[in-house]
Structure 1
Amino acid sequence: MMAEALTHTQIEKILSADLPGWTTDGRRIERTYSIAHVAGAAFVVHIAAIQDDWGHHSDATLGYRTVHISISSSDLGGHVAEHDIELARRIEAAAHGHGAVPLD
């Protein structure tokens, strides 16, 4: 069964309840973390491992003292589905162990 795109309202409701601090424009969910540069590189590698285990990938951008995550489903034309939300939950669970502090 193919995943179905969530509406902007559904996404906002889920983020508010389960992933506060994550944002959406209706086509992707995003979060930026403050993190030391080398720790950020390790966090990005951890995110890559999570993505490979989950079989779903996002964009992770390593900056100087930041890591930015952007998640959407390319198979849905760049919209958000429940598996995108689950990937965000897994990334969020890993963040603290790397010393990543959400930028809100």
Structure 2
Amino acid sequence: MAVEPLSQDEIENRLRELPGWTLEDGRITRTYRLASHRAAAALVAHVAAVQDELNHHSDLTLGYRTVVLAVNTHDAGGAVTTRDFALAQRVEELAPAHGAR
């Protein structure tokens, strides 16, 4: 089933429901800060498992005490879709358990 790109207004409305997420270079992005590198790596592993479950993957960058996600939908020509927001919401739900802020 094809996923349709969201309009700019739809993206902005959905971003209001996800504090910390922004639209940058055609992708929704979020940087999480964690207490340690090990905590950041654990968050990356958890996010990777969710991405596999959803069959929807972001660019995921591990820093010393940071994790950065940037996501759009390749199947929709690199546009932002509901799939991206579903992934973002799942990450928002699991991040606090890792101490992410």
Structures share fold, TM-score greater than 0.5: yes
Deviations 1:44-97 (A, max 9, x none): 000000001111111110001110000101111211100110000001111000
Q: 2:29 is matched with which residue? A: 30
Mind listing any 5+ residue stretches in structure 2 that lack a counterpart?
A: none
Map residues 16-27 of structure 1 onto 2, 5 A cutoff.
16=16, 18-25=17-24, 27=26
Aligned residues: 100
Deviations 1:10-50 (A, max 9, x none): 1111110x212200137210000111211100100000000
Q: Alignment partner of 1:33: what SS?
A: strand
Q: 2:91 is matched with which residue? A: 91
Q: 1:47 is matched with which residue? A: 47
Q: 1:81 is matched with which residue? A: 81
In the alignment, the residues of structure 1 paired with residue 88 and residue 4 of structure 2 have an alpha-carbon distance, to the nearest angstrom, of 17
CA contact (8 A) 2:31 2:68 kept: yes
- Superposed CA RMSD in Å reads 1.1
Q: 1:32 and 1:59, CA in 2 relative to 1: closer, same or farther beyond 3 A?
A: same
CA contact (8 A) 1:26 1:79 kept: no
Superposed structure 1 runs of 4+ greater than 2 Å apart: none
Tell me the TM-score normalised to structure 2 length. 0.93
Q: Alignment partner of 2:38: what SS?
A: helix
Tell me the TM-score normalised to structure 1 length. 0.91
In the alignment, the residues of structure 2 paired with residue 24 and residue 62 of structure 1 have an alpha-carbon distance, to the nearest angstrom, of 20
CA contact (8 A) 2:41 2:62 kept: yes
